[in-house]
Amino acid sequence: MKQNSRKEINWHKIPDPKEYYLKYFPNLKLATEWVKVVCPFHDDKTPSLSINLKHGGYICRGECKTKGNLIKFHMRRHNLGFVEACKSLGVWPYAE
C-alpha cells in the first residue's frame, strides 16, 4: 500500500489553525483571517510571516521566503519528516 499520499491523510482531523498557531505565537490577534508574526525560520526583525487562520497556510515575505500549509509549518518548526509531522498532528491514517 502506498503510504505517503497527501490526499489520503485525515485532513478533517487537522488542528484548528487558530488554536494551533496560538501555541507558537501567544500574542496572536485572532480578529482577522491573515495575521503577521515574527518569522521563526530566519533572523526576522519585523513580522514577516503571514499566517492564514482559516486554512492554516503561511508565507514569509522576508529573507527565507518559506511557505506552505500547517503540516509543512509543523515539519519545519520541529524538524520532522512528512510522516512524522502527520503522526504528531494526529492526521496520519495508518496504524503502526
| 20 or 41: CB nearest Zn ion | 41
| Window 15 to 44, contacts with Zn ion (CB under 5 A) | 39, 41-42
Nearer to Zn ion, 28 or 64 (CB): 64
Please list the residues that pair with 60 across neighbouring strands: 49
Q: How far apart are CA 17 and CA 53, in angstroms?
A: 5
Helical residues (DSSP H) of 1-96, grouped into ranges:
17-24, 70-78, 82-89
CB of 20 to Zn ion, least distance (A): 18
Q: In what order do the strands lie in the sheet with 58-60?
A: 34-37, 49-52, 58-60, 67-68
Which residues in the 49-88 window bind Zn ion by CB under 5 A?
60, 62, 64
Whichever of 66 and 92 has its CB closer to Zn ion, that residue is 66
**Least distance CB 79 / Zn ion (angstroms):** 16
- CB proximity list for 95: less than 8 A, separation 6 or greater: none
Contact residues: Zn ion, CB under 5 A: 39, 41-42, 60, 62, 64
